[in-house]
């Protein structure tokens, strides 16, 4: 069995890494359990990692591979930046050749970026033979909807879902959305959230980061000291074109932060898109290094308040900042999920969210982009004393469930209406396994079926 996984942009890496890890762990178990069975060696999963290069610099891509222990991509398409049309078309043009050369059994696409849709479209239209055979398309993070068609990501989500064969859902709203859209039920699987798999596996490792010391946020103690050593601070991320390309909206958001920045520093890792806008608005950088600036854009080194700009951070540095933050203000969907899992108050500066579970059961509030509402919502979150609940299946095992489904679907030769095809008689066995274990019974039955 050959699985090809596509990544292209920063959020994809956290979602794909656990799946690749689950494949590697399974292959190790197969090698150990069937070391003397030469007939079974050919049944290890062959994995191919394709990086489209949609995010291409080290800040936005390279450091994440190291932090998440991702292997070097087998194929790098080197797409780079461009308009939606140019980027999507170029990915499709180059990816088609990869699929024809590799002939995978399953193609896994994750998230909602241009790479996700472009690669799904290629596989949906390709034919390896006169019978029209092609790989299965598995969409990780399916079914999420903001119901805002002005968002490019919403178009990518909807189209990807409707050309995919397996829809792997992170939250219950995804199930409901897909069913309302008439998607066949046997394509849909509620597996959980692989981004949370990454967070849970790296949460303690992130404590080795020195980012708190680098930014002067740890008042005393060792690098892995307790929370009492850490000053109060906010964390800000902005990257959506609707927020940063519109100068009025961008300045409204910054205005909504004025009260917070007067009471504590706000750490702002700046996305390249946002860096360009800040320069256009006349906010100065200091030789490309970390700096502090007051609300009016004047450089003010050594301040204990104000906005602190940094370059984009690696995964572990950012996770360390996020888990110790007093509050997070963001327009990122993934950060809404991560703060919910960590129990950190989050204010989302958008008019909607495709992740309603973060509001219903988590720590997230939607503030929009009104200066006054942002200010009020931040104050509400700073007074927050309620508890949140980690959503169902956000337990660190989503990747294991996904791999079970991919293997079961491929082996059965048809889409499954249950987590694993009942004909395999391994459903109840597989789902009672710990992520680090696999029974010889399951593997033996599987080996008899795999072509």
As a whole number of angstroms, the distance between CA 146 and CA 61 comes to 26
CA distances from 174 to 143, 158, 180, 393 (A): 4, 11, 10, 13
Q: Is the pLDDT of residue 44 over 70?
A: yes
pLDDT at 415: 64
Are 419 and 427 within 8 A, CB to CB?
yes
How far, in Å, CA of 388 to CA of 4, rounded?
Answer: 36
CB 351 within 8 A of CB 366: yes
131: Cα separation from own chain's centroid: 36
Say if residue 316's pLDDT is above 80.
yes
DSSP notation for 182-196: T--GGGEEE---HHH
- In the sheet where 188-190 sits, what is the strand order? 75-76, 46-51, 2-7, 106-110, 136-142, 166-169, 188-190
pLDDT recorded at residue 72? 93
What the block records as the tokens of 375 is 């200010």
Q: In angstroms, how far apart are the furthest CA atoms of the chain?
A: 70
Q: Are 48 and 77 in contact (CB under 8 A)?
A: no
Per-residue pLDDT at 434 exceeds 60: no
β 234-237/188-190 pair status: unpaired
| pLDDT given at position 417 | 46
Q: What is the DSSP string of 355-417?
A: -THHHHTSSEEE-TT-HHHHHHHHHHHHT------PPTT-SS-HHHHHHHHHHHHHHHTS--S
DSSP strand pairing (75-76 vs 234-237)? unpaired
Q: Quickly count: other Cβ atoms within 10 Å of residue 178's Cβ.
A: 22
Q: Average pLDDT, stretch 109-113?
A: 97
Q: Output the pLDDT for position 431.
A: 32
Alpha carbons 213 and 94: distance in angstroms, whole number: 43
Pair 354, 141: CB distance under 8 Å:
no
Out of 84, 139, 162, 239, the active site residue is 239
Q: Is the pLDDT of residue 317 over 70?
A: yes
Neighbouring-strand partners of residue 49: 5
DSSP symbols for 59-71: IIIIHHHHHTTPP
pLDDT the model gives residue 283? 66
Question: Which residue, 362, 324, 355, 359, is CA-closest to 341?
Answer: 362
Cα–Cα distance, 38 to 336 (Å, whole number):
47
365-397 residue pLDDT tens: 999 999 999 999 999 999 998 788 999 999 999
Q: What does the alpha-carbon distance between residue 410 and residue 368 come to, in Å, rounded to a whole number?
A: 44
State residue 40's pLDDT score.
45
- Residue 429: pLDDT band (50, 70, 90) is very low
| Both tokens assigned to 270 | 């700046």
Q: What percent of the chain has pLDDT over 90?
A: 69
Residue 41 pLDDT greater than 90, yes or no: no
Is the pLDDT assigned to residue 304 strictly greater than 90? no
Closest CA to 371 of 255, 451, 235: 255
Q: Which tops the pLDDT comparison, 315 or 57?
A: 315
* Dist CA 251 CA 243 (whole Å): 9
Active-site residue 55, yes or no?
no
Cβ neighbours of residue 376 under 8 Å, at least 6 residues apart? 367
Contacts of 164 (CB under 8 A, 6+ apart): 109, 120, 124, 137, 138, 139, 142, 187
CB count in 10 Å sphere of residue 413? 10
pLDDT tens digits, one per residue of 136-183:
999 999 999 999 999 999 999 999 999 999 999 999 999 999 999 999
Alpha carbons 267 and 217: distance in angstroms, whole number: 10
**For 6-22, what is each residue's pLDDT tens digit?**
999 889 999 999 999 99
Q: Which residue has the tokens 């008019």?
A: 351
| Phi then psi dihedrals of residue 158, to 5 deg | -65, -50
Q: What pLDDT does residue 447 have?
A: 41
Which burial class, exposed, middle or buried, applies to 106 when counting CB atoms under 10 A from its CB (0-12, 13-18, 19+)? buried
Neighbours of 53 (CB within 10 A): 23
């Amino acid at each position: 069995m050959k699985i090809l996984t596509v990544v292209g942009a920063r959020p994809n890496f956290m979602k794909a890494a656990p799946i690749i890890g689950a494949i590697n762990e399974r292959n190790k178990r197969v090698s150990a359990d069937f070391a003397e069975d030469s007939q079974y060696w050919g049944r290890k999963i062959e994995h191919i990692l394709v990086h489209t290069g949609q995010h291409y610099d080290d800040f936005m891509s390279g450091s994440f591979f190291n932090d998440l222990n991702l292997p070097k991509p087998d194929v790098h398409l080197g797409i780079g930046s461009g308009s939606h049309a140019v980027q999507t078309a170029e990915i499709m043009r180059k990816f088609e050749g990869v699929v024809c050369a590799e002939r995978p059994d399953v193609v896994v696409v994750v998230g909602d970026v241009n790479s996700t849709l472009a690669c799904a479209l290629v596989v949906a239209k390709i034919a390896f033979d006169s019978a029209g055979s092609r790989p299965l398309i598995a969409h990780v993070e399916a079914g999420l909807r903001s119901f805002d068609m002005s968002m490019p990501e919403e178009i990518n989500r909807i189209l990807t879902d409707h050309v995919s064969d397996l829809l792997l859902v992170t939250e219950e709203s995804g199930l409901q959305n897909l069913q309302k859209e008439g998607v066949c039920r046997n394509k849909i699987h509620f597996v959980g959230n692989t981004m949370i798999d990454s967070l849970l596996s790296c949460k303690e490792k992130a404590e080795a980061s020195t980012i708190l010391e680098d930014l002067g946020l740890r008042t005393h103690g060792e690098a892995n000291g307790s929370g009492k050593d850490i000053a109060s601070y906010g964390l800000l991320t902005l990257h959506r074109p609707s927020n940063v390309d519109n100068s009025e909206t961008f300045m409204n958001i910054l205005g909504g932060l004025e009260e917070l920045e007067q009471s504590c520093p706000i750490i702002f890792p700046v996305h390249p898109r946002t860096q360009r806008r800040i320069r256009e608005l006349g906010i100065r950088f200091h030789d490309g290094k970390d700096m502090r600036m007051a609300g009016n854009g004047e450089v003010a080194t050594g301040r204990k308040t104000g906005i602190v700009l940094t370059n984009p951070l690696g995964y572990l540095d950012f996770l360390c900042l996020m888990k110790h933050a007093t509050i997070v203000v963001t327009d990122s969907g993934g950060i809404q999920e991560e703060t919910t899992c960590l129990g950190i108050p989050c204010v989302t500066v958008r008019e909607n969210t495709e992740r309603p579970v973060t509001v219903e059961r988590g720590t997230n509030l939607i503030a929009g982009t009104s200066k006054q509402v942002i200010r009020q919502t931040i104050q509400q979150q700073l007074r927050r004393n309620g508890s949140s609940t980690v959503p169902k299946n956000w337990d660190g095992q989503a990747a294991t469930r996904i791999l079970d489904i991919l293997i079961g679907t491929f082996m059965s030769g048809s889409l499954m209406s249950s987590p694993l095809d009942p004909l395999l008689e391994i459903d109840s066995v597989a789902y009672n396994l710990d992520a680090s274990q696999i029974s010889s019974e399951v593997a033996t039955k599987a080996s008899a079926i795999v072509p």
